[in-house]
Structure 1
Amino acid sequence: MFLRRALYYWQFTAAIMLPLWVVIARGIFGTTTGWDIALYIVLGVILGFSMLVVAALTVARKRVRDARALTGRDTLVLAIWHLSVILFGFIGAPWVAAIIVIVTVGAFWNAVWTLFTETRDRVKVAFTIPDFAPRTAEVDAGHYDATAPGQGDVIIVDVEPESPPTSR
């Protein structure tokens, strides 16, 4: 539970820190030209925006907001995603970049699908009408008086019997 709750709060900080980590670490550990840094800055902005989108979709779920913790699947996806971004800071290999792209797409669709299914289930429950027993007893025609408890108000129901239809 601690890891799930920590990742819940970390995902917003990670949207700024992890792209910044990639730019700084790639500058220290292996960039040879200034154009590489410019490319990492542009890709860092895209990565940060995608992390914010996934975080917003995750927090939009009532179950996550109420618990202030991610689900197990969210924790697994985000841990793989964030660890691959941290690894890319050290190793600028194309296969690590490919893993980041694949996990980014997977994290987005995981967040969208989970939000959709949880919202659908909540809406189904909200629109389910309870099954009440039908009333079979008829009310006799007449005059009924009732007082509301503690209010002193009088409710009067005056029901007149139906008259048979007249023919002309």
Structure 2
Amino acid sequence: MFIRKAFYWWLFPSAVVLPAWLLIGWAAFSQGSGWSFLGLLVLCPILFLAMLVVGGIVMARRSVRERRAVSWWDVLLIALWDLTIVGFGFFIPGATGWFAVLGILLFIATFWVALWELLRETRTRVQATFAAYERAARPQVPSEPATPVDHGEYIVIEERRDRD
């Protein structure tokens, strides 16, 4: 549970930390031209928005908000995605392209799995709500008691109304 909670708290800070890591990694490890830095300046805001979108979809699930922990699928995909971003930030010659392709594929997988989990959980909650409404809308049939409560005497009070 600790790992799932850690990823819950890492969702939104990672949207800032990982794009910043790409800029720091380019300054430290890149041997490319200024054009690659310009491409990175375009990539970082896109990565920031992509991570915010995925984090928002994950946080939209009620189970995540209540437990303050993401699912194991989220942990797996987000961990792999984050690792590819970190790997990309080292700007290893020949491997940067593979990290980029793998990062894009992992973003797509993370996005769709998070959306699928949100829709599945929402569908379950909506079905439970409609079932409760249907139970409440059914006419209540009074149940006959198995045995009469009292066979004793009954007191009847009649009201008299005088009509003028």
- TM bucket (normalised to shorter chain) is 0.7 to 0.9
Identity %: 37
TM-score calculated relative to the size of structure 2: 0.78
Q: Aligned match of 1:120 in 123, 147, 151?
A: 123
Q: Aligned match of 1:105 in 86, 103, 108?
A: 108
Which structure shows the bigger proportion of residues in helix conformation? 2
CA–CA separation in structure 2 for the residues paired with 1:80 and 1:72: 12
Cα deviation for residue 24 of structure 1 reads 1.4
Counterpart of 2:76, as a letter, is: L
Looking at both structures, which has the greater relative contact order when contacts are Cα pairs under 8 Å and sequence separation is at least 6? 2
Deviation >6 Å, runs of 4+:
none
CA–CA separation in structure 2 for the residues paired with 1:99 and 1:137: 64
Aligned residues: 138
CA–CA separation in structure 1 for the residues paired with 2:31 and 2:128: 55
Summarize the Cα distance change of 1:47–1:137 in structure 2 as closer, same or farther, 3 Å threshold.
Answer: closer
CA–CA separation in structure 1 for the residues paired with 2:111 and 2:119: 12
The answer to whether 1:53 aligns with 2:53 is yes
Contact 1:26–1:90 (CA under 8 A) maintained in structure 2: yes
Deviations 1:103-161 (A, max 9, x none): 011111111111111101100000003387962679xxxxxxxxxxxxxxxxxxxxxxx
CA–CA separation in structure 2 for the residues paired with 1:86 and 1:126: 43
CA–CA separation in structure 2 for the residues paired with 1:136 and 1:115: 40
Counterpart of 1:135, as a letter, is: V
Aligned pairs for 1:153-164 within 5 A: none
TM-score calculated relative to the size of structure 1: 0.76
CA–CA separation in structure 1 for the residues paired with 2:143 and 2:18: 69
CA–CA separation in structure 1 for the residues paired with 2:143 and 2:58: 51
Aligned to 2:148: none
Cα deviation for residue 27 of structure 1 reads 2.2
Counterpart of 1:40, as a letter, is: L
Structure 2 unaligned segments of length 5 or more: list them: 145-164
